[in-house]
């Protein structure tokens, strides 16, 4: 019978994965960069609150954030 399936995951008429980064070979790298960027934001904010602002730290964080954003946008 042509329409029957045996329940295997490859019998789906649609051959795509659900989720934004599951099918991407660099999805783990983007998630790692995102976590690093978020952690760095927390560290820079804590440093600013405790010891005062430092423009170089914030500039570095902005560059890291832009790199992370660029990696996420350029993934196809």
**Percent of the chain scored above 90 by pLDDT?**
51
Residue 28 confidence class, pLDDT cut points 50, 70, 90: confident
Per-state percent for the chain, helix, strand, coil, to nearest 5: 65, 0, 35
Quick check: 18 pLDDT over 50?
no
Contact 44, 58 (CB under 8 A): yes
Using the predicted structure, report yes or no on whether residue 61 has a pLDDT greater than 60: yes
Strands (E), 1-76: none
- pLDDT at 16 (0 to 100): 43
Q: Which 3 state secondary structure label does DSSP give 16?
A: coil
Average model confidence (pLDDT) for the chain? 79
The pLDDT of residue 29 is 87
At residue 61's C-alpha, the angle toward residues 38 and 50, to 5°, is: 80
């Amino acid at each position: 019978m042509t329409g029957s399936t045996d329940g295997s995951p490859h019998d789906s008429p649609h051959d795509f994965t659900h989720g934004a980064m599951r099918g991407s070979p660099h999805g783990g790298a983007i998630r790692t960069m995102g976590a690093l960027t978020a952690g760095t934001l927390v560290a820079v904010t804590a440093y600013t609150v405790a010891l005062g602002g430092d423009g170089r730290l914030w500039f570095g964080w902005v560059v890291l954030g832009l790199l992370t954003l660029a990696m996420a946008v350029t993934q196809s």
